[in-house]
Amino acid sequence: MAEPALSGPTSQLLASLTSVQHHRLQGWCDQLTAASGWHGDLPVVLLERCWLRLRAVTVATLADAVPADTSAEAPELMRWRQLRQEGVDPWSAQLTCWQEFGAQACQQAQRRHWQQREQHQCGWTFADYLSLLRRYRQELETETTRCLPLLVLRRPDGEQRHTLHWLPSRHRTMRHTCA
């Protein structure tokens, strides 16, 4: 069976890694290939752009290692969005939320949400976190070629978002070294 070919940003990313990092990446791919099923000790690889530091965390510790912005999932904001989707005008939706949760709680949820957006802007939301877990589990349970998630963390002062790449575990991670 032919090895999957990588192209585009993932290929460029892999080309920027050192041989030691490629060796570590291959070890995590081997760990994924040997896994008997879905569990919390599966690796999720993190690459810190600033230092080109590559490390793995487990599925179970991912939320601690890369906290997701959960401010958009506040019950007050979710209820407001639900009312808007039902066709309620913004002001009436706000008044309904104030009645259900209290004006102070609604304002605090909005303030937290906007502070989070202004301070972090990494784009790593709770929905993104759940999507990673869902896809990882689904691929582990259904695919013949398992894919290892590699999350490239944005620079602290950068405008970019975290980016997620999926590396086939059967892919040869060592780059060509002939000169």
Asked if residue 124 belongs to a domain, the reply is no
In a domain, 12, yes or no: yes
Helix axes 103-119, 90-101, angle to 10 degrees: 110
Q: pLDDT tens digits for 44-98? A: 999 987 778 999 999 999 988 888 877 777 889 889 999 999 999 999 999 999 9
Q: Which domain holds residue 81?
A: 71-119
Q: How many domains does the chain have?
A: 2
Q: How far apart are CA 4 and CA 157, in angstroms?
A: 35
pTM: 0.70
Are 164 and 79 within one domain?
no
Would you say 93 and 80 are in contact if contact means Cβ atoms under 8 Å apart? yes
In a domain, 179, yes or no: no
Phi, psi (degrees; rounded to nearest 5) at 68? -85, 150
Q: 10-32, pLDDT tens digit by residue?
A: 777 787 788 899 999 999 999 99
Is residue 62 domain-shared with residue 87, that is, in the same domain? no
Percentage of residues of the chain with pLDDT beyond 70: 83
Partners of 55 in the β-ladder: 46
